[in-house]
Structure 1
Amino acid sequence: MWQAQAAALRARDRTVITPDQRGFGGTPLGTAPPSLDTVADDLAALLDQRRVGSVVLAGCSMGGYVAMAFLRRHRHRVRALALLATRARADSPEEAAERIRFADLILDETRRDQLVTHTAPLLLGAATRARRPDLAEQVTAMAATAAPESVSWAQRAIATRPDSLSVLRGTDVPAVVLRGAEDDLVAADEAAITAEALPRGRLVTVPTAGHLPPLEAPDHVTRLLTALLDASAAENRKGDSEW
């Protein structure tokens, strides 16, 4: 999902890490019970393995929930933050129940294909679906190849996440919250609440994107991440001079 941004930033001599979450890509799911804390700790272990102390952290959708879990457990390792298509508050009981229902359905072999075919394209905004049918096909294919056990695990982990507003209020780093104007999963007021909780957060809206801005508006997201990296670097230089 982050290929365009990773290529552009690496071309500018930036180090970029785009890990596969457990259960996806080449990463085994393992036997741990569903928890975003587990995924956050996986990321911390990967950074340790690569000898990376701190990062500018970006997450989209579930990646945003993982980023907030990472803040709860490893706050000192985040120099700047980008939250895309995500929200800080916890699910309501009704929303959590709907996620659990999806987690159950995705494991049902008789209903899985229809479920994926129906839901995956809706991650994209209406303008993207009309303008880029190839991207809708790509997203559907990506969803279809994901292991159902991993998708179910992920949905259960999201359903049990805590409210993160207090965590964001204590995160005083350069930060941006991005929402696609055609995102049917994260409402405009949810994105605004998330941005307002961050002491240095700002809200950016992409007019023609839905729930997957890195794919739908790759250049826009690349510019946003570049600016965030520059802000983090400037802050580090300021800290060095003060020291």
Structure 2
Amino acid sequence: MIPTVLLHAFPLSSAMFAAVDLPGLIAPDLAGFGTSAVPDAPPGMSALAADVVAELDRRGLDRVVLGGVSMGGYVAMAVVREYPERVGALILADTKAGADAPDAAANRLRMAESVLAGGDDTDVLAARMLAPGSPVLAEVQAGVRAARPEAVAWAQRAMAARPDSFDTLRQVTVPTLVIVGELDSTTPPAEARLIAEAVPGARLVTIPGSGHLPPWERPAEFTAAVREFMGGLPAGARLGA
């Protein structure tokens, strides 16, 4: 069997996977978030991908089932692009493959400057990520507030600079699961369908009643989707029971 590594969404930490029940799950904090240090490298997905691979090396892991939610999905796609030999299967949840349009990238850069200047729209950001009336709103708000301004700014700049990943996805040859929250307005189901159509043989699962963060909003359904996917992997790639 090979381990499963899940990468968290912006601007949260690995705590978002606390209720996901997968044996042997590895959920690192991306650089700058949770317990990890803000990177010294110029902002970019390549730097985050290199950090993930360095973590695999520290753990002595050759190949993993790699998954990511939102920004974590951007990082997972960067790992596939730059270190394809390390990925035995792929899970992309509530993310998108296209690069930011110029106005969206410019808005990220403005937000980076704003947060460093003391701007605070964390509660608005948390609410936008969740389904209306979500019972986990307060928890997600706390997670967003815990993010350090310098980490938020670095990540915004990294996301603004990320490349289009559709060509990368079209070359994926490992089993791939695409997950999306039914009510995700940040990276809506249409984006998930584009990813699923780009990856040969990809499976698409929609999580009912969830917004942008299914592992936090609907952990049981998210877990079930991943477990079912794992059950269909070749024997050498299956998650242990």
TM-score, L = length of structure 1: 0.88
Q: Deviations over 1:7-50 (max 9, x none)?
A: x222xxxx221101111111111311111111111111111111
**Equivalent position SS for 2:95:** coil
1:98 to 100, 107, 123: 107
Larger radius of gyration: 1
1:195 corresponding residue in structure 2: 196
Provide the aligned length of Structure 1 versus Structure 2. 223
1:79 to 75, 85, 88: 88
Range with greater deviation from structure 2 (198-207 or 36-45): 198-207
2:127 corresponding residue in structure 1: 121
**Unaligned 5+ runs, structure 2:** 1-15
Q: Deviations over 1:96-121 (max 9, x none)?
A: 11111211221122x32xx1122222
**Unaligned 5+ runs, structure 1:** 238-243
- Distance in 2 between the 1:29 and 1:236 partners? 33
1:19 partnered with 2:28: yes
**Equivalent position SS for 2:19:** helix
2:138 corresponding residue in structure 1: 137
1:157 partnered with 2:158: yes
Q: Which amino acid aligns with 2:18?
A: Q
**Equivalent position SS for 1:105:** helix
- Distance in 2 between the 1:90 and 1:187 partners? 15
2:18 corresponding residue in structure 1: 3
Alignment check: 8 A CA contact 2:94 2:188 kept = no
Alignment check: 8 A CA contact 1:56 1:229 kept = no
1:183 corresponding residue in structure 2: 184
Q: Which amino acid aligns with 1:63?
A: G
Q: Deviations over 1:39-63 (max 9, x none)?
A: 1111111111111110111100000
Deviation of 1:234 after TM superposition, in Å, equals: 3.1
Structure 1 residues 236 and 25, CA gap change in structure 2 (3 angstroms): closer
Range with greater deviation from structure 2 (218-227 or 51-60): 218-227
**Equivalent position SS for 1:47:** helix
- Distance in 1 between the 2:208 and 2:75 partners? 25
Q: Could you say what the CA RMSD is over the residues aligned between the two structures, in angstroms? A: 1.4
- Distance in 1 between the 2:140 and 2:237 partners? 38
Alignment check: 8 A CA contact 1:80 1:229 kept = no
Deviation of 1:209 after TM superposition, in Å, equals: 0.6
Which has more helix, going by share of residues? 1
Structure 1 residues 176 and 236, CA gap change in structure 2 (3 angstroms): closer
1:65 partnered with 2:65: no
1:46 partnered with 2:55: yes
Q: Deviations over 1:137-195 (max 9, x none)?
A: 11111111110110111111011111101111111111111111211111332211111
Alignment check: 8 A CA contact 1:79 1:232 kept = no
1:216 corresponding residue in structure 2: 217
- Distance in 1 between the 2:48 and 2:85 partners? 17
Q: Which amino acid aligns with 1:220?
A: E
Alignment check: 8 A CA contact 2:134 2:217 kept = no
TM-score, L = length of structure 2: 0.88
- Distance in 2 between the 1:170 and 1:234 partners? 23
- Distance in 2 between the 1:195 and 1:3 partners? 27
